[in-house]
A and B are shown apart, each in its own frame.
Chain A
Amino acid sequence: MRSLTRVFALAIASLLAWPLQAQTPRYGGELVFPVPSEPPSYDGHREETFGLIHPIAPFYNTLLRVDPFDKGGTKPAPSLAESWTTSSDGKTYTFKLHKGVKFHDGSEMTSKDVKASYDKIIFPPPGVGSTRKGQYADVVAVEAPDPYTVVFRLKHPSGSFIASLLSPYNFIYKAEILAKDPHWYETHIMGTGPFIFVEHVKGSHVVGKKNPNYWDKGKPYLDGFRAVFMRDSAAQVAAVRGERAQIQFRGFTPAARDDLVKALGNKITVQESPWDCILLVAINHKKKPFDDPRVRRALTLALDRYEGSKALSRIAIVKEVAGVQVPGTPFATPPDELAKLAGYWHDAEKSRAEARRLLKEAGVPEGFSFTFMNRGIPMPYEPLGVWMIDQWRKVGLNVTQRVIEPAAYFGSLRKGEHEVAMDFQCGYIVEPDLDMYKFLSSSRNPANYGYYEDPVLDKLYDQQSQATNVDERKKLIREFEKRVLDEQAHYLMTLQWHRIIPHSSRVHGWTITPSHYLNNTLDTVWLSP
Chain B
Amino acid sequence: MGYYILKRLLAMIPTLLGVAVLIFLLLRVIPGDVVEARYLTQGSQFQSQDLMDQERQKLGLDKPLWKQFTAWMGGLAHLDFGLSMWTSAPITEEIKLRFALSLQLALMASTIATCLAIPLGILAAIKQDTWIDYAVRVFTIAGLATPSFWLGTLMILGMLIIFKWVPPMVFTPIWVNPWDNLALLIWPALAVGYRYCAVGTRMMRSTMLEVLREDYIRTARAKGLWLKLILTRHALKNAILPVLTVISMEFAFLLGGLVVTEQVFNLNGLGMLFVEAISHRDYTLTQALVMLVATFFLVINFAVDIAYAWLDPRIHYR
Tell me, yes or no, whether B165 is within 8 Å of chain A by CB. yes
Residues of B within 8 A of A49 (CB): 41
Residues of B within 8 A of A202 (CB): 87, 89, 93-94, 96-97
Give CA–CA (A46, B54) in the complex, Å.
13
What's the minimum C-beta distance from A75 to chain B, rounded to whole angstroms? 24
Residues of B within 8 A of A187 (CB): 88-89
Binds B, one of A8-16, A64-72, A233-241, A359-367: A233-241
Give CA–CA (A235, B166) in the complex, Å.
9
Residues of A within 8 A of B165 (CB): 242
Binds A, one of B125-133, B138-146, B261-269: B261-269
What's the minimum C-beta distance from A382 to chain B, rounded to whole angstroms? 16
Contact check, A129 vs B51: say whether CB atoms are below 8 A apart. Answer: yes
* Residue in contact with A424 in the complex, picked from B42, B45, B87, CB distance below 8 Å: B42
Total of A-B residue pairs, C-beta within 8 Å: 129
Given A204-B268, A230-B266, A407-B36, A40:B87 Cβ within 8 A? yes
Binds B, one of A98-106, A445-453, A497-505: A445-453
Residues of B within 8 A of A437 (CB): 45
Residues of B within 8 A of A204 (CB): 97, 170-171, 268
Give CA–CA (A205, B272) in the complex, Å.
16
Contact check, A231 vs B170: say whether CB atoms are below 8 A apart. Answer: no
Contact check, B266 vs A232: say whether CB atoms are below 8 A apart. Answer: yes
Tell me, yes or no, whether A426 is within 8 Å of chain B by CB. yes
Tell me, yes or no, whether A482 is within 8 Å of chain B by CB. no
Binary B-proximity of A29-50 (CB < 8 A = 1, otherwise 0): 0000010000011000000110
Question: Within residues 401 to 448 of chain A, which ones have a CB less than 8 A from any CB in chain B?
Answer: 405-414, 423-426, 437-438, 445-447
Binds A, one of B68-76, B273-281, B303-311: B273-281
Select from chain A the residue with minimum beta-carbon distance to B278: A407
Contact check, A445 vs B166: say whether CB atoms are below 8 A apart. Answer: no
Tell me, yes or no, whether B58 is within 8 Å of chain A by CB. yes
Contact check, A134 vs B36: say whether CB atoms are below 8 A apart. Answer: no
Tell me, yes or no, whether B12 is within 8 Å of chain A by CB. no
What's the minimum C-beta distance from A427 to chain B, rounded to whole angstroms? 10
Give CA–CA (A413, B43) in the complex, Å.
9
Tell me, yes or no, whether B174 is within 8 Å of chain A by CB. no
What's the minimum C-beta distance from A461 to chain B, rounded to whole angstroms? 12
What's the minimum C-beta distance from B282 to chain A, rounded to whole angstroms? 9
* Residue in contact with B160 in the complex, picked from A238, A406, A409, A449, CB distance below 8 Å: A238
What's the minimum C-beta distance from A248 to chain B, rounded to whole angstroms? 12
Contact check, B47 vs A201: say whether CB atoms are below 8 A apart. Answer: no
- By the criterion of a CB under 8 Å from any partner CB, how many residues of chain A are at the interface? 54
Question: Within residues 165 to 219 of chain B, which ones have a CB less than 8 A from any CB in chain A?
Answer: 165-166, 168-171
Tell me, yes or no, whether A265 is within 8 Å of chain B by CB. no
Question: Within residues 105 to 132 of chain A, which ones have a CB less than 8 A from any CB in chain B?
Answer: 126-127, 129-132
Select from chain A the residue with minimum beta-carbon distance to B96: A202
Select from chain B the residue with minimum beta-carbon distance to A282: B43
Contact check, B169 vs A235: say whether CB atoms are below 8 A apart. Answer: yes
Contact check, B36 vs A411: say whether CB atoms are below 8 A apart. Answer: yes
Select from chain B the residue with minimum beta-carbon distance to A132: B46
Contact check, B36 vs A408: say whether CB atoms are below 8 A apart. Answer: yes
Given A40-B86, A48-B44, A49-B41, A231:B272 Cβ within 8 A? yes
Contact check, B94 vs A241: say whether CB atoms are below 8 A apart. Answer: no
Tell me, yes or no, whether A153 is within 8 Å of chain B by CB. no
What's the minimum C-beta distance from B103 to chain A, rounded to whole angstroms? 15
Contact check, B166 vs A407: say whether CB atoms are below 8 A apart. Answer: no
Give CA–CA (A48, B94) in the complex, Å.
22
Point out which of A204, A414, A425 has the most chain B C-beta atoms below 10 A from its C-beta: A204
Give CA–CA (A405, B280) in the complex, Å.
10
Contact check, A133 vs B41: say whether CB atoms are below 8 A apart. Answer: no
Select from chain A the residue with minimum beta-carbon distance to B266: A235
Tell me, yes or no, whether A229 is within 8 Å of chain B by CB. yes
Give CA–CA (A245, B169) in the complex, Å.
9
Binary A-proximity of B131-167 (CB < 8 A = 1, otherwise 0): 0000000000000000000000100100010001110
Contact check, A127 vs B54: say whether CB atoms are below 8 A apart. Answer: yes
Given A131-B44, A232-B264, A407-B37, A244:B87 Cβ within 8 A? no
Contact check, A186 vs B88: say whether CB atoms are below 8 A apart. Answer: yes
Give CA–CA (A296, B89) in the complex, Å.
47
Tell me, yes or no, whether B39 is within 8 Å of chain A by CB. yes
Tell me, yes or no, whether B22 is within 8 Å of chain A by CB. no
* Residue in contact with A426 in the complex, picked from B42, B170, B266, B272, CB distance below 8 Å: B42
Contact check, B86 vs A131: say whether CB atoms are below 8 A apart. Answer: no
Tell me, yes or no, whether A355 is within 8 Å of chain B by CB. no
What's the minimum C-beta distance from A490 to chain B, rounded to whole angstroms? 15
Residues of A within 8 A of B266 (CB): 230-232, 234-235
Contact check, B41 vs A411: say whether CB atoms are below 8 A apart. Answer: no
Give CA–CA (A437, B42) in the complex, Å.
14
Select from chain A the residue with minimum beta-carbon distance to B46: A134
Contact check, A239 vs B166: say whether CB atoms are below 8 A apart. Answer: yes
Tell me, yes or no, whether A203 is within 8 Å of chain B by CB. yes
Contact check, A447 vs B94: say whether CB atoms are below 8 A apart. Answer: no
Contact check, B47 vs A446: say whether CB atoms are below 8 A apart. Answer: yes
Contact check, B280 vs A407: say whether CB atoms are below 8 A apart. Answer: yes
Give CA–CA (A127, B59) in the complex, Å.
11
Given A41-B87, A241-B166, A242-B165, A129:B46 Cβ within 8 A? no
Tell me, yes or no, whether B2 is within 8 Å of chain A by CB. no
Contact check, A407 vs B32: say whether CB atoms are below 8 A apart. Answer: yes
Given A40-B87, A238-B156, A408:B31 Cβ within 8 A? yes
What's the minimum C-beta distance from B131 to chain A, rounded to whole angstroms? 39
Tell me, yes or no, whether A228 is within 8 Å of chain B by CB. yes
Closest 10 pairs (CB-CB, A-B): A242-B166, A235-B266, A410-B40, A408-B32, A134-B46, A407-B37, A447-B43, A203-B268, A411-B36, A411-B32
Listed by A's residue number, 12 A-B pairs whose Cβ atoms lie within 8 Å are A127-B54, A127-B58, A132-B46, A133-B48, A134-B46, A242-B166, A406-B279, A407-B37, A411-B31, A411-B36, A413-B43, A424-B42
